[in-house]
A and B are shown apart, each in its own frame.
Chain A
Amino acid sequence: MIWLVLPLIAVLAVLAYLAGRGAAQRRAAALAGGEKAHSRPQQHGYYALIWVAVPALVVTIIAGVFSGPVAHNLLAADAPQIVQDLEPFRREAFFNDARLTGEGQRAFQVWHGELGEVLNAEAARSHRVHQTLTWGGVLAAILAAAMGGLFAFSQIRPSLRARNRVEGWIGGLLFACSAVAILTTVGIVFSLLWDSLRFFQAVPVTDFLFGTQWSPQIAIRADQVGSSGAFGAVPLFAGTFLIMLIAMVVAAPVGLFSAIYLSEYASAVSRGVVKPVLEILAGVPTVVYGFFAALTVGPAFREFFNGIGAMLVGGPLDGMGQYLLLVQNQMALVAGAVMGIMLIPFVSSLSDDIINAVPQSLRDGSYAMGATKSETVKRVLLPAALPGIAGALLLAMSRAIGETMIVTMAAGLAANLTLNPLDTVTTVTVQIVTLLTGDQEFDSPKTLAAFGLGLTLFLVTLLLNIVAQRIVQTYREQYD
């Protein structure tokens, strides 16, 4: 529908502009000598354009957003009993195939028996519903455009403050743009809350937050065994925390020292080399880090630990050697270390800003007292910049908690409640990905659990971000 309506609206809008400009010119020419029109003819044209385009666009957007759900409800409400009796997931697939068949495309699945017979009738009905909605939408959009146009033309006269009106519209439009940010937040909160609440109806919040058993295998059929479904998220929180900790151990010192070196020691030349390198490191997609972790770092670490294990076996530390021999590619240490590399540029550029923000007079004062550079950094700059750096580290932590691809590719899937960096652990983000990829019902607690995890992740990172931004901002204003 969009592809039909948008060009149509564009054409109508241009016509309205031309007509509005012409009408304004004619009406202004009819004025008696000495009188002048308030606005230039173009502005009248824009006025007409806005009144044609905006109502039509609003109608189109409303139709676009709601036609999907409306069509779906219409189809679902009048579907034959046999379709209504299907499991929700299969029903969705059936409607999808009916739509495809109705559009003359091939269905995804083969529907047997009575369903196959029903499919064609449903396809025809789906086609009718979609046609009706599409043409209804187009008609409504044209009507809206026509009404807007009539209104605009009734308004055009030399005394109309067309420029002010047009600019008012532009201001409103710009405000609407920034309101999208709020709408996004509302959308995030609502979509997470809605599905989480459904999840928490099936699994109590306390079980979720304090349970130590995570195995989201829900029985899809009643006769399945061994899939009880336990949604205690503590092992995930522990895994996330462990990997975050390892990442910070790598990223914090390296990033901080790079920042100190770059802002205090480096010459313009080496700064000019290192800065772009760090920018490249920051621009590398996380999936590439994941690949690097899984295929390079993981095997290298395993070989290293297996080697140490082989040396220890038979000695006084035999048990530990045996353990090290069994270390696998996927472990918390690999994911954490690579994530630390990913965070280095983040930490260093934030700390760089903050160290640079410390006024030169403090450095000069310290040098005047005979302090060396390192003493100035340690005794003056770092204490002055400490709150800001703490804020930067908090931001890096929230990044590490929310990071997905590296852990998905390098940390493993087993939910172990452990603080041993050589074990495979799993994190909140990994579980969200595994719960939502692949075939599953949309309404089972298994899928909804992803939203519960997402809500937790959102709240925790939000809290960290707010605290970090507070700290960074209050600190920055200190010297202004």
Chain B
Amino acid sequence: MWARLAAEDPARAARLQKGLKARYARETRFKLYGVLAVAVAVGFLLLLLGRIIEQGHTAFYSNQMTVSVYMDPARIDRAYPQGTNFQQMVAQQQLTRLGETDDEQGTKATAYRQLLSSELKFRAADLIRNDPSLIGKTVTITAPVSDEADLYYKGEVTRETAADQRRVSDQQMAWLDELKREGHVSTSFNTQLFTNGDSTEPELAGVLGAVVGSALMLLVTACIAIPLGVGAAVYLEEFSKKGRITDLIEVNINNLAAVPSIVYGLLGVALFINWMHLPRSSPLVGGLVLALMALPTIIIATRSALKAVPPSIREAALAMGASRTQTVFHHVLPLAMPGVMTGTIISMAHALGETAPLLLIGMVSFVPGIPGAVDEPAGALPSLVYIWENASERAFHERTAAAILVLLAFMIVMNAAAILLRRRFERRW
């Protein structure tokens, strides 16, 4: 056909050919934009995860130092061993061992002391408390090094780092090198990160308190939001007569699903804290706020799961003489359960990652230790990330990223569970 056209009207053929070429070029370009957009989205995800892993992986191991300490009877008060300045004592002994003489003010000892974690003090005091006969003997104690020393060993602070950007002096670096050369420094998995609560000292700070706080909060959220949400969805989908009230409820639920989370935080402050005087920064209040926030999502997910159950099931049950309630609770709801659970898990995962309302109800306050009940002050994983991100110590940066990795691990497990449930129980009628 092209050949005939080219023979009859070469100019028109050329024009058409050119137009066609342009159209194909446009087609390719358009498709390219699509690929580019997808690549951008995927690229951002990789960049995000890559950067966080890059920043956070170092927090999963830590450096410990093993020092031999002469429990100097002259400095330890037998009645009150906790009061001893063990760090200063160790620092001075180490300096003597290195053959360095300190000045009057003990400047060098103070500088050396900064390399030791306060954990050393606690461990030494514990030893003495358990066995007072150790006073006057030499013991070996293993304790984490301080956060700045840890960063130096990890290579994140080097001699090349500008002097105002680091808090380890060249002298301290020399000491640290010396320790390492003598084999007193060991690198191991950072178990403290998973067994400790929050702390003002990065080398001792862990996520356990926040994990427990988040778990308690999710427990409260689940106990309230799931029964209420499923109940509301069952009512709207199976029992309600179309009318003004149900319309109002429906519109309401759709709007609630889109209300900014921080507004729920304001509701929590006004209603639960200022009015009901529930304890501030407790998982109870956090869970209540998150429950109200998760409710619309659960209702919407449950309704679509109920909608997917074919009417024939209901009709069959009704035909056998079951009442409406029996039909719903014995037949429809069990069949919709996988869908309900998928939606619920996803909304719980969202609640787990939500931060803004927690800031308002006071979950940004520093809470050391591990909460034991829902009405005690507690932290939560996302607010821990926020607190650590704002901390001035540089060592908190890697720990923030590590806490994020823990948080993401939970989210991924929850989402994977939801996907698995969907795959496993997916039913086609």
**Chain A residues with a Cβ under 8 A of chain B:** 65, 68-69, 71-72, 163-164, 166-167, 170-171, 173-182, 184-185, 187-188, 191-192, 194-195, 253-258, 260-262, 264-266, 274, 277-281, 283-292, 294-296, 341, 344-345, 348, 372-375, 377-378, 395, 398-399, 401-405, 408-409, 429, 432-433, 436-437, 442, 450-451, 454, 457-458, 461-462, 465-466, 469
Contacts and interface: CB of A to CB of B under 8 A. Distances in A.
B18 interface: no
A371 B242 CA distance: 45
Given A184-B292, A398-B258, A402-B263, A284 B23 contact: no
Interface in B36-79: 36-38, 40-42, 44-45, 47-48, 51-52, 55
Interface string B216-259: 00000000000111111111100110000010110011111011
B260 A181 contact: no
B362 to A, nearest CB: 8
A456 to B, nearest CB: 11
14 contacts: A68-B275, A68-B276, A178-B232, A258-B41, A277-B42, A285-B353, A285-B382, A372-B26, A373-B30, A377-B30, A404-B356, A408-B359, A429-B262, A437-B359
Contacts of A404: 260-262, 355-356, 359
Given A294-B389, A295-B55, A188 B259 contact: yes
Nearest to B324: A167
A68 B277 contact: yes
Contacts of B125: none
Contacts of A68: 275-278
A274 B42 contact: yes
B38 A262 contact: yes
Contacts of B252: 181-182, 185
Taking chain A's interface residues, is the majority helix, strand, or loop, or is none over half, making it mixed?
helix
B43 to A, nearest CB: 10
A372 B28 CA distance: 10
A436 B35 contact: no
Given A284-B353, A286-B355, A409-B389, 6 more contacts: A167-B323, A181-B296, A257-B37, A288-B408, A399-B260, A404-B262
Interface of B: 23-24, 26-27, 29-31, 33-38, 40-42, 44-45, 47-48, 51-52, 55, 227-236, 239-240, 246, 248-249, 252-256, 258-267, 269-271, 274-278, 292, 295-296, 299, 323-325, 346, 349-350, 352-356, 359-360, 362, 364, 382, 385-386, 389, 397, 400-401, 404, 407-408, 411-412, 415
B25 to A, nearest CB: 10
Which residue of B235, B254, B265, B401 has the most chain A CB atoms within 10 A of its CB atom? Answer: B235
B266 A454 contact: yes
B34 A260 contact: yes
Contact of A288 (B48, B253, B255, B259): B48
Contacts, number: 275
Contacts of B258: 395, 398-399, 461, 465
Contacts of A194: 270
A181 B270 contact: no
Contacts of A171: 235, 239, 325
Contacts of A176: 231
A465 B389 contact: no
A311 B4 CA distance: 60
Nearest to B278: A68
B42 to A, nearest CB: 5
Q: In the A-B complex, list the 4 residue pairs whose CB atoms are closest, starting with the nearest.
A: A402-B260, A285-B353, A261-B34, A177-B231
A28 to B, nearest CB: 20
B414 to A, nearest CB: 9
Contacts of A167: 323-325
A285 B411 contact: yes
Contacts of A429: 260, 262, 356
A10 to B, nearest CB: 14
Given A191-B271, A283-B411, A372-B23, A405 B355 contact: yes
